[in-house]
Each structure stands twice: as structure tokens, then as C-alpha cells.
Chains A and B, each alone.
Chain A
Amino acid sequence: MTKYVVKRILFMFLTMFVITVMCFVLIKLLPLPAVREMGRDINLVLAKREKMGYNKPIMVQFFLYLKSIFTEWDWGVGEQMYEGLGIWDVMMQKLPYTIVVNLYSILLSIPLGLGLGIYAALKKNKWQDAVISTMVMVFISVPSYVYAFLVQYIFCFKLNWFPLQLASLSQAGSLVSGKMFVSMVPAIMSLSFGSIAGFTRYTRAELSEVLTGDYMLLARTKGLTKAQAISRHALRNAMVVILPMIIGEFIGILGGSMIIENIFGIPGIGNLYVNSINVRDYNFFMALNIFYTLIGLVSGIVIDISYGFIDPRIRMGSKK
């Protein structure tokens, strides 16, 4: 197990390195955008460019880039947006919004999704199951931005229950205040429909498979009630598959949804990424590429390893 984990992590670093090099070279091959005159920190940006060796060969620039990250934790400064501000500081300022919105969404979708999935599995092939499964099919297929438009139109415009845009930090006081929560509700709803449906589908599939297992029959035969058998045997076995999925979702919180953040004006990390592409700020773009790649890789590893920890029957890295 340890050997497997170490191997996976080492390979993750290799992958990370290769992708970073590719990204860096491809970005450096693009024409360098001029520093905009409007920023008061134009000299700072120019000095930064000098320090990062913008007139040296690309490979030298890459090592300077890595050096400044590892020695000073310096990811560069914004050139086309947030001029002169440190990339890392801006990212850390945006990240809480993304985390809070997605956390609310997950805290809503996990219990709902699991509950609906369990209910559907227990009522398998009855009308309740048919209704839930149909809804799941619809909600899993329809893209999240379609819900976002619907939610925005119905709840923000027609019913006027929620504000159209996110409350600003100064208005709401803090990120977790009630006022902030209310203004986040449309985004949370749009994010949750899809993930509720996803959880429901997996739970239903897993649980209904587990329920037909021989050990369930044995549990009933030895005198457990149906509820006992389900909660002690079926659910635990179904969790082997569902729990890694939940863990994956929790890591995914960091990345957030670019399109939902864009629609509801959440100043999160996804929005920052899209903006950096649209204004061609390559320093932000590079840093966020690394960020997103890392999230993907880490969540993949954590999910795989968690299978081994949750289910003692699975031996990671074994030949058979």
C-alpha cells in the first residue's frame, strides 16, 4: 500500500512537471502583451519582467520561474488585470468565495442525493423509483447553465426572492453571513441540481446491487430486521463506492464552476481564470493552469487511495 501511494505521488509530480513545462513553453511562445500604461505600477511590472528574465531563452525563464516560486513563493504579478498585485495574493483573495459557494452546494446535495438514492433503491421498480430515476436522468443531462438561467429568471427576476448578483463583502459583513448566503442561493441551487442527481444515481445503482447480495439474505435469515440489515450491511458496502465520490467532490470544491461563477458574478477562482484568458494575462493564466492541474491530479490520487482505506478487500497496486 505504502509503495503504491509513493509510486502514485512520484508519478503525480512527474506529470505535474511535464504539464507545467508544456504550458510554460506554449505560453512563452505567444507574443508578449505590452504593459498597459494605465497602471500606476508600470515600473514594478517592468522590473518584474527584468527579474524573470523575459529577454532570456525560454528554458532559463522557466528555471527562474520555478526558482522564484520555490525560494520566495513569488508567482509573479498581474500585468493586464490587478496590475502590480501578487498573483498568489489575488488567488487567495478569490478562493474563499469559490470554496464557500461550493461547500454550501455540497452540504445540500450530499444528504439530499444520498437520501433520494437510498429511497429509490429501496422502492426499486415501483413508481417512486420511476419518478426519481426520470428526474435524475433529466437533471444529470441538462447543462448546469440552463438551470442557472432558469433559476435567475424565475427566482431573481420574476419572484424577486434573491438578489441578481452576489452581495459585496462590505455589504454582507462576512463571507458566511446570512445576507451573503441569501445572495448565494441562486448559484448554490444551480450547482446542486446536477450533483444531487449524480449522487442519487450512484447511490441507487450501488445500493440496489448490494441489496441483492447473498449476505443480505443471511442477515435477514439470522433475524435482523430489514432496517437493521440495510443500515448495518447494505449501506456500509454501498459506501465503499460512494464515499470516494464524496471525497472527490470535496476536493473539487477548490476548482468550482467557471460558468456558474460567471453567470452569477461570483468573484471566485473560476471567474479569475476566465478573466485572465480574456484579457490575456499570462501570469495569472500560468499560475491557474498549475492550480487546476494540481487539483485534478490530487483528487484522482486521493480517490484511488481512499478505496484502499475504506474497503479492506481492495489491495492497491497488487497484480491481481
Chain B
Amino acid sequence: MMEEKMNRDIPKIAKEKFAFVKRTDRIHDERLQTKAVGYLGDAWNRFRTNKSAVVAFILILVLLLFALIVPVVSNYTITFRDGYYKTVLPKAGIFKNSGFWDGGKRETQNEAGYLYLNAIGAENGKSAVMKEYGSFNDSTGARFYDLRIDSYNSVGYVYVNLSDAEYKALMEYQDKSGIQVFYPLAATHSKHFVLGNDGANFWYKLANESQGNSGAPVLDENGHYINNYLFSDDPEKAGYTGSRIAGDGENGVWYTYAQKNQTGYKARVDYDEYFFYRNGFHASFLFGTNQYGQDILTCLAVGARFSLILAICVATINFCLGIIYGSIEGYYGGAVDMIMERISDILASVPFMVVATLFQLHLASKVGPVVSLLFAFIMTGWVGTAARVRTQFYRFKGQEYVLAARTLGASDRRIIFKHIFPNSLGTIVTGAVMTIPGVIFSESMLSYLHIINLDTSSTVTSIGTMLANGNGYLNTFPHIIMFPAIFIAILEISFNLFGNGLRDALNPSLRGADN
């Protein structure tokens, strides 16, 4: 019928009037001048233009590298604990004596404290006072000093117990290097001092030699300290043949550098040099140390590595479980979906704290706190991914373009991988990436509240454990808590920005939206 009608409307044209055009040429479509942009290429193009996401991605890489490289190149390990360099302040070589990040701290000291600190430098030349800002008298007339104190040099001297061999080796080292390590024993050391490293820093005559002394010295008429060394007329007392400090041996009086005891020798050493002798480098902690004398930089890197590995494991496992569960729900629908949805609803309603605690109470003693924490994160964590996958399935199943594809004869497989998958990938992958900062946050919170205790094994730490360690020292040594807190803050911000960028990049419907 149609044909008849058409034929009727078209006027007859004489056959001769028709002529062939381009009879010899073959007619082609115009060749595409641009290159085809694939799904990932398109995503990369969009991601690249998002400045904040790129910066965030670079930051994440830097933090990852930090966590991987620092434990390898660091002078210290996580098991390193120094009994004397506890809570020393952050010190960076390039800021030496600049008043910033140089291991110093501004403090107000009374007369006795001021003289005590100065005495350390007076003996070995390494001043514990970096700078004097001034002094003032308070209402009672007591004098106070405003000082910048070097937290490293103020450790000063310590008493060490050396075995016979160690004693000889240290003497040999001292003679060879020309660095004075041994210093004469102080006469007051026989009294019990808790202050000044068991009295090792009280090498001078004290104004009050009782136990509760303030460390105030007696000064001579020139304002110098009067030494209070043990001495004898035997220059080689306790077998000491090493080099001596200036002023030793005058008038046949020889200072005593060591004392024999049951296990070997008790000697008084300059701790900075002794540390160098023992470890081969001078103590300098970029991020300072905590109250156990651990290097915060190394701990932070090891803790960050632990937190990141845990988070990535959790994200990967949850991603896989969630995709399987969610796609079964979304694909079958109906009764299967209903039952599975109720199960995941119930799991999602259990507060994470409850899960984490119960796993910890039941499993921590059997498989360790880390594995039980991992189980706890997986137990309820996959529900989110599953819900997202299911929603995506439902959202795209009824879309017109899916219907169109089906009408054109596309198989289920083609529809899922070519049409539904690219559209839902953005949401699902972004969700998986965003579980990483979530896991790190939850872990740090649980460690901070002591619900999980990673400290039991000293080879593992986490950011939350470090925060918990620094908790009581916020006022006095804020650096202990500051570095982990800054680290986790940067990490969370970077992951959020990166996640936003990723979501936009992986969303193909935004293609060409900007230009």
C-alpha cells in the first residue's frame, strides 16, 4: 500500500535524464581524523584535569613511599629503645641552631636548673643551653631564666656498667679517635640520686648534698664550678690508661675514671659519644622520640605501613565479596534478593564497635589481634559494596539504553560488561577506595581506646597505637602525638580528594561535560 502511494506521488522522470556520478570512484566514508578514546583513556583524561585529585594522588604515593622506604633506610628500627633519649624533641640537621626543629625547647628555669644545665656544657663543651633569651626576678626575688634547652645535650652523662672487654675496647676507641668518652666519677655518686641520671650529671660541688637537692652548685669566687671528682694518688686506678680531661694530674692528684664492681667496671661516660661509639652515628631523631625512647619517624612509617596494608587487604576482600554478593542479588532479584537483602540488613545493623570487640575477645588470643581485626572489618564491611553493586544493577537494568541493546540482540554478557559495568564501575570502585581511609580511621580509633592492643608484640605498631602512646604527653611533649595526627589527617584528606576525582573520572556520563 505504501509503495503504491509513493509511486503515485513521484512524478515520472524520463530515463535519459539520469546520469552516473563518480562511476569510476569507490565511495568511502570520511576517515575518522581523531583517535578513538577508550573507557580508561577517557577516565584518565578527566582525572588529569582534576588538579586536586592529581595532587591528592601524588600525596598518597608520597605517603606510601614514606611507609615503604623509611623503615629500610632509617638508622633505627621499631625495636630500638633508648633509655636516655626519651621524649627528645624533633631535630633536623638543616635547621641546626635556627631555633626551629633543632631539638630545642624554650623553657623557664630557676637558678638551680640553669646552673645544672650549664654545668653539662662546662665539662664536655656541649652546651645544653642553646640560647638565653633573658632573665627576670619574680616577686619573692628568686631569679628565673628564659632559655632554649637542647633536649639531646641535656642528657649529659650516664653511669654505665661495662664488662672487662667492653671497658678495654672503649678505652682503645677513645685513644684512637681522640674523643673523650670517659669522664671522672663524681664523689657524690655514692649517694642515691634520681635526678641528673642517677647523679651522673652532678660532677660539681653541690650546695646541698642531701637526696632532695635542687642541683644548685657552689661556685668559686670567679663564678666557676668546683669539681667534685673522686681522686686518688694512683693514676691507673681501676686499670684506666685512657686519655684524661684537662686539669687532671695536677699536684699528684689523679681523678678516678672507673670503679671495679662484681661484673666489671662502672664508669661515667659522655652519653652522646658513648651512643656514637655503640651505634656508629650521633643520636638525632627527625621526629623526636616517644616516652619509651623509640624513634617516632620509624614507628610512624612502620605504623603507616601496617595501617595501609591492613586497609588495602580489607578493601580488596570486601570488594570481591561485595561484588559477588551484590551481583547475585541484583541478577536474580525476587525471593533470592529479598532473603539475601534481609541478611545483609541485619549484618549492617550491628554496630562496628560490637563486632570488633567480640572478635577481639574471642579470637585475639588464638590468632592474634591483627587477624581478628581483619575478620571484624570483613564481617560487616562487604555489606556496603554489596548494596552498591545491587543498586547499580537495579538502576541500569531498566534503563532505555539497556533495553535498546537487548532489542538489538545483545547478549546478557555483552550488556553486563559493555553497558552496565562501565556505568556502575565508578561508584563501586570509588566505594572500595574510600574504605581504605575508613579502615585506617576505625583502626586508629580502636587502638586509641585500647580495645585492640597491638603493643603486645613490639614489632608491630599502628597510627592509633602511637596516638594512644602520646595521649598523656600532649601538654609536655606534643610532638609524640602531633606527627601521627598530621600523618593521618593528610592521609584522610588525600584519600577523600582522590576518591572524588576517581568517581568523576570513572563516570562515563560526564564525558565531554566540561568542554
Please list the residues of chain A having a beta carbon within 8 angstroms of any beta carbon in chain B: 11, 15, 18-19, 22-23, 26-27, 29-30, 137-138, 140-143, 145-146, 149-150, 152-153, 157, 258-259, 262-263, 273-274, 277-278, 280, 285, 289, 292-293, 296-297, 300
Check: B496 CB closer than 8 A to any chain A CB: yes
CB <8 Å contact, A293 and B445: no
Check B481 against A293 for contact (C-beta < 8 Å). Answer: no
| A18 (CB) vs chain B CBs: closest residue | B346
Q: A141-B492, A143-B488 are in contact. Are A296 and B354 (CB under 8 A)?
A: no
How far is A138 from B448 in the complex, measured between Cα atoms in Å? Answer: 22
Give the CA-CA distance A209 to B192 in the complex, in Å: 75
Give the docked Cα–Cα distance between A143 and B349 (Å).
23
CB nearest to B489 among chain A residues: A142
Residue picked from A137, A142, A259, most chain B C-beta under 10 Å: A142
Interface presence of B335 (CB below 8 A): no
Q: In the complex, which residue of chain B has the Cβ closest to the Cβ of A150?
A: B485
B474 & A157 in contact (Cβ 8 Å cutoff): yes
- Given A157-B475, A274-B451, A19 contacting B349 (CB threshold 8 A): yes
B376 to chain A: closest CB distance in Å?
12
Q: Quick check: B445 and A145 within 8 Å, CB to CB?
A: yes
Among the listed B349, B353, B354, B361, which residue makes an inter-chain contact with A297, where contact means beta carbons less than 8 Å apart? B349
Quick one: which of A137, A141, A262, A292 has the most chain B CB within 10 A? Answer: A141
B478-505 CB contacts (< 8 Å) to partner A: 478, 481-482, 485, 488-489, 492-493, 495-497
In the complex, residue of chain A having the shortest beta-carbon distance to the beta carbon of B398: A320
**Which residues does chain B contribute within 8 Å of A277, judged by CB atoms?**
357, 449, 451
Chain B, 330-383, CB within 8 A of any chain A CB: 342, 345-346, 349-351, 353-354, 357-358, 361-362
> Bound state CA distance, A149 and B362, in angstroms?
32
Q: Pick the contact of B493: A19, A142, A292 (CB < 8 A).
A: A142
A-chain residues with CB within 8 Å of residue B437 when the two chains form the complex = 141
CA distance A153 to B353 in the complex (A): 28
Contact indicator A15/B346 (Cβ below 8 Å): yes
Are B493 and A137 in contact, with the CB atoms below 8 A?
A: yes
Q: Chain B: which residue is nearest A257 at the CB level?
A: B445
| Residue contact A285 to B493, C-beta cutoff 8 Å | no
With a CB–CB cut-off of 8 A, which chain B residues contact A143?
A: 441, 444-445, 488-489, 492
Which of A11, A278, A289, A292 is in CB contact (< 8 Å) with B451? A278
- Residues in A with CB closer than 8 Å to B346 are 15, 18-19
CB-nearest residue of chain A to B345? A15
B362 adjacent to A26 (CB under 8 Å): yes
Q: Is the CB of B496 within 8 A of A140?
A: yes
- Could you say which residues of chain A place their CB within 8 Å of the CB of B354? 23, 289, 292-293
Tell me the nearest residue of chain A to B486, going by C-beta.
A146
Within the complex, the shortest CB–CB distance from B130 to chain A, in Å, comes to: 21
CB-defined A-B contacts under 8 Å, sample of 9:
A22-B350, A29-B362, A137-B496, A141-B496, A142-B492, A143-B441, A145-B444, A273-B353, A274-B449
Q: In the complex, which residue of chain B has the Cβ closest to the Cβ of A259?
A: B445
Binding site for A on B (CB under 8 A): 342, 345-346, 349-351, 353-354, 357-358, 361-362, 437, 441, 444-445, 448-451, 467, 471, 474-475, 478, 481-482, 485, 488-489, 492-493, 495-497
Which single residue of chain A is at the shortest CB-CB distance from B350? A19
**Distance in angstroms between the alpha carbons of A296 and B475 in the assembled complex:** 36
Question: What is the interface of chain A mostly: helix, strand, loop, or mixed?
Answer: helix
- Give bound CA distance, A23 to B482, whole Å: 37
A277-B451, A289-B354 known; 8 other A-B pairs, CB under 8 Å? Answer: A15-B349, A27-B358, A141-B437, A145-B444, A146-B485, A149-B485, A274-B450, A292-B354
Q: Contact between A285 and B496 (Cβ–Cβ < 8 Å)?
A: no
In Å, the complex CA distance between A263 and B497 comes to 28
Q: How far is the CA of A278 from the CA of B361 in the complex (A)?
A: 10
Sorted nearest first, the 3 A-B pairs with minimum C-beta distance are A141-B493, A141-B492, A141-B496
Q: Are A149 and B481 in contact (CB under 8 A)?
A: yes
Q: Which chain B residues lie closer than 8 Å to A15 at the CB level?
A: 345-346, 349
Q: How far is the CB of A114 from chain B (nearest CB, A)?
A: 22
Q: Please state if B451 and A23 are interface contacts (CB–CB under 8 Å).
A: no
**In the complex, A146 Cα to B478 Cα: how many Å?**
12
Q: Please, which residue of chain A has its CB at the minimum distance from the CB of B444?
A: A143
Query: Nearest Cβ in chain B — how far from A139, in angstroms?
Result: 10
Expressed in whole angstroms, the Cα–Cα distance for A318 and B346 within the complex equals: 22
Task: Please report the C-alpha to C-alpha distance between residue A259 and residue B441 in the assembled complex, in whole angstroms.
Answer: 12
A24–chain B nearest beta-carbon distance, Å: 11
CB distance from B440 to the nearest CB of A (A): 9
With the chains together, A138 CA to B353 CA distance in Å?
26
Contact of B497 among A22, A137, A258, A274 (CB under 8 A): A137
Q: Considering only CB atoms, which chain B residue lies closest to A258 in the complex?
A: B449
B349 lies within 8 A of A259 (CB) = no
| Assembled-state Cα–Cα distance A224/B8 (Å) | 59
Q: How far is the CA of A140 from the CA of B485 in the complex (A)?
A: 15
Instruction: Give the complex CA separation of A263 and B471 in angstroms.
Output: 8
Query: Hey, which chain A residues are within 8 Å of B492, CB to CB?
Result: 141-143
Residues on the B chain within 8 Å of A280, using CB: 361
For A29, list chain B residues within 8 Å (CB): 362
Query: Is there contact, CB below 8 Å, between B493 and A30?
Result: no
Contact B362 A30 (CB under 8 A): yes
- Most A Cβ at <10 Å: residue of B345, B351, B451: B351
Q: How far is the CB of A301 from chain B (nearest CB, A)?
A: 11
Task: Tell me the smallest distance from the CB of B489 to a CB of chain A, in Å.
Answer: 4
What residues on A are CB-neighbors of B475 within 8 Å?
Answer: 153, 157
Flag if B474 contacts A30 (CB, 8 Å). no
> Which residue of chain A has the shortest Cβ distance to B442 in the bound complex?
A143
Q: Which of B349, B354, B445, B488 has the most CB of A within 10 A?
A: B354
Q: Say yes or no: A285-B357 contact (C-beta < 8 A), given A141-B493, A149-B481, A293-B350.
A: yes
List of B residues within 8 angstroms of A274 by Cβ = 449-451
B478 touches A141 (CB 8 A): no
Chain A residues within an 8 Å CB radius of B358: 23, 26-27
* B502 CB, min distance to chain A CBs, angstroms: 15
| B349 in contact with A153 (CB, 8 Å) | no
Given A141-B493, A277-B357; A146-B449 close (CB under 8 Å) = no
What is the chain A residue whose CB lies nearest that of B450? A278
B441, A292: Cβ atoms under 8 Å? no
**In the bound complex, what is the Cα–Cα distance between A79 and B205 (angstroms)?**
57
Task: With both chains docked as a complex, state the minimum distance between the C-beta of B334 and any C-beta of chain A, in angstroms.
Answer: 13
| Contact for A30 among B361, B441, B445, B495, CB less than 8 A | B361
A39 to B176, CA, bound (A): 66
CB closest chain-A residue, reference B476: A157
Residues of B within 8 A of A259 (CB): 445, 448-449
Shortest CB-to-CB span from B224 to chain A, Å, is 38
- Residue pair B449, A262 in contact (C-beta under 8 Å): yes
Q: List B contacts of A145 (CB < 8 A).
A: 444-445, 448, 467, 485
**Alpha-carbon gap, A269 to B286, bound state (A):** 40
Which B residues are CB-close (under 8 A) to A273? 353
Determine if B353 and A146 form an interchain contact, defined as CB atoms under 8 angstroms apart.
no
Residues of chain A with a CB closer than 8 A to B489's CB: 141-143, 146
